[in-house]
Amino acid sequence: MSRIIGDITVSLDGFVDGAGDGVEALHAWALVSDDPVDAAVLASVAGAGAVVMGRGTFDVVDGPHGWQDGLGYGAREDARPPFVVVTSSLPEEVRLAATHDFSFVTSGPAAAVAAAREAAGDADVYVMGGGTTVGSCLAAGLLDVLQLHVAPEALGSGTPLFTGSRHRLVQRDVRVSRAAVHLTYDVSEVPAPG
């Protein structure tokens, strides 16, 4: 059975994006690093059977400065699995419609994960973001695995990944490159108090 893997880059202080400069530095490990550890992480992510993303992330990747030939899901891997977008409203047009398989789910993250799982078959489903999407899937108990790519940046403010819910994570893997620390955790249920 496929696993649902939350996969997101965070700053040292736990933000997935910031107000102003610094966001590009978060993703340097994926966009400009030549470290073989980063390349191996990107190659494994590119093997996704399907990908869930939020509408904000979709608007960036489908925007005029978003994904292009040779730079897409998995950065230079440019993988093209089915993409399921969690949204409250459908886009008027999709720039990448001819080259990418996007579907849109308006009934929430659980429905998007279910649609992605069906599209992925036995392969893993990745929830790539943004932070609200990964965080809400984590809070709803939809994730089996959480992969964090910790960039050596402290943003000071922005969208936090963890908000208002407690999680017990079991560390499974740590990979260190010059540009990031890649952490993999199994997600466990936190027992109710007393």
Calpha distance 39→42 (Å, rounded): 5
Asked if 158 contacts 15 with a C-beta cutoff of 8 angstroms, the reply is yes
Model pLDDT for residues 138-171, shown as the tens digit of each residue: 989 999 999 999 999 998 888 888 887 778 899 9
Residue 22 has pLDDT above 70, yes or no: no
Give the H/E segment covering residue 112.
helix 109-120
* Amino acid (one-letter) located at 128: M
Is it true that domain 4-188 has CATH number 3.40.50.300? no
Confidence of residue 82 (pLDDT cuts 50, 70, 90): very high
Calpha distance 32→20 (Å, rounded): 20
The total of other beta-carbon atoms located within 10 Å of residue 42's CB is: 20
Domain ranges of the chain: 4-188
Mean residue pLDDT across the chain: 90
Model pLDDT for residues 40-72, shown as the tens digit of each residue: 999 999 999 999 999 999 999 999 988 988 888
Asked if 35 contacts 177 with a C-beta cutoff of 8 angstroms, the reply is yes
Predicted TM-score (pTM) above 0.85: yes
Can you give the pLDDT at residue 18? 73
Confidence of residue 73 (pLDDT cuts 50, 70, 90): confident
Dihedral, 93, 99, 103, 108 alpha carbons, nearest 10: -90
Can you give the pLDDT at residue 41? 96
* Amino acid (one-letter) located at 91: P
